[in-house]
Structure 1
Amino acid sequence: MVAVQPSTDTAAAQNRRGFTGLLPHRMLRWRRPVWWQELAIIAIGYWLYTIGRNAVPEQAEIALRHGHSVQHLQDVLHLNFELSFNHFVAATEWLAQVMDYYYATLHFIVTIAVMVWLFRKRSHVYRGARSVLVASTLLGLLGFYLYPLAPPRLLPNFDYVDTLAKFHTWGSLADPSVAQHSNQYAAMPSLHIAWAMWCGIAIWACAWRRWVRVLGLLYPVGTLLVIVGTANHFVIDAVGGALVLGVGFAIQWLLSGHGAFTPPLDAPDFSLTEDAREHATGPTTPSTPQP
């Protein structure tokens, strides 16, 4: 592995960059993330997410009224393909089971896996990417509080099928032991979409292999199909998720003065490492001294 050195002209580069962020410069200097600090941040963040999500008053009557309004809006916008797609999924048990377990598990598994990958392999952009995810999640909690929304599967008179309940999938909110610990009216915005898009963008921005980058982009597409097919979200909820992610990126830029996947100016040049060059140009071979 080739040794990497921090840039020596950081101050001049900062001046050329223009806006340098709202945080003090000392807080924006590059330093390798420490695993126990990041683990603590994630644990506290998830605890706050769980407490905040479930502490919001469910307000069932308001949430159902909002659900009817969203359904009407989607009918006006001709985005009402959800019901037919939901019925198709519900009529195909193996597909419904796959989507149900996708919905219940990958939301956390893939997000954690991408965070660990960034921490280990792309530490020069990890903090910026993590800040986007945290900001987006907090904005999502605010959305749950300000706009309680019933998901399609809980709306009467619209004939949506709750596939989690129909096939008794693990994690079904029809199970009283699960439902009593979860706010069922936290549908707007869809954090499933916000987190999936964050994962896709991170993989596209940071992966070297093209097929991995393509898979990263397909992941939020698959998530959209799942949340609609299982009647857990409207398409407009997904739009809300995309919006909070966009605002999360904007907040990170305002705080740091650079993009989430742009390393700080004093970060080592990781593009000089041998493993990066090998992925880009093929395996390197040691040079042979010439006589």
Structure 2
Amino acid sequence: TGQIYMPFVNWGLFVMIVLAVVLFRSSSNLAAAYGIAVTLDMTITTVLTFFVIRYGWGYPLALCVAATGFFFAVDILFFSSNLLKLLQGGWFPLLIGGAIFTLMMTWKRGRELLGDKLREDSINLQDFLASVQANPPMRVDGTAVFLCAEAGVVPNALLHNLKHNKVLHRQNLFVTVQYHETPWIGLDQRLQVRSLGGDFWQVAVNYGFKNELDLPGALRLMHGRGCELDSMRTSYFLSRDVVVPTFGEGMAPWRQRLFAQMHHNASGVAAFLHLPSNAVVELGSKVEI
């Protein structure tokens, strides 16, 4: 309980372990790498324990320092002694940890820059709908579901759909998927629905981190709320942003290029949310960070 199985991560760890054993050839050659890995893990665990009991549980600072200070000193001594074998194989776990840390921080910072850029260029949804209703385009039968990273803004997919197809569906749902730090969220709390008028709806779909993601299944709960969805006449519009690195101040150029490649290789939203492949429309745009 309390664990999440991620097949890709587990198989990736398996491949890396096999490669490490093959490269080092014997357990004695792995001893230096193993020692640094274990002692560094012990040190990190002690530091995290301090932050949990201090900022998570709210215990007094003196008590937190007393509870973790002794273990931290012992861990640092063990780690320092193992650093003497840095050139004999101890560099290996530090290299792996540094590479993973770089990828994680690049992804985190890149997502922040991407989000800031999208918010900077975004249009307020209520103002946009008011202008659309004042000068309505042609409406076609069916339901369009637009996935939005943030509620209250116009998704790029809607703008591109209007620009190229010059039509709106009879019903339009602006859906934001929200993930919570609780394992399970029941069906009675799955949807938060708000009518925007004119057959436009703002929908928030809530998932716990152990809930199975199924967006079409969640939207079927709209039944009886004034918006009836027919799965055969529902289309899902996704914004596929292509990141273009620039010489800005957000990140170093090499990190921008790394994030652009990571963003390009990221798994698609359609498969992640179990959207029917024959009902998905992706509309792309370039975003400079």
Q: Same fold (TM over 0.5)?
A: no
Q: Is the strand fraction higher in 1 or 2?
A: 2
State the structure with bigger RCO (CA 8 A, min sep 6), 1 or 2: 1
* Higher Cα Rg, which structure: 2
Q: Normalising by the residue count of structure 2, what TM-score does the alignment of the two structures yield?
A: 0.30
Q: Is the helix fraction higher in 1 or 2?
A: 1
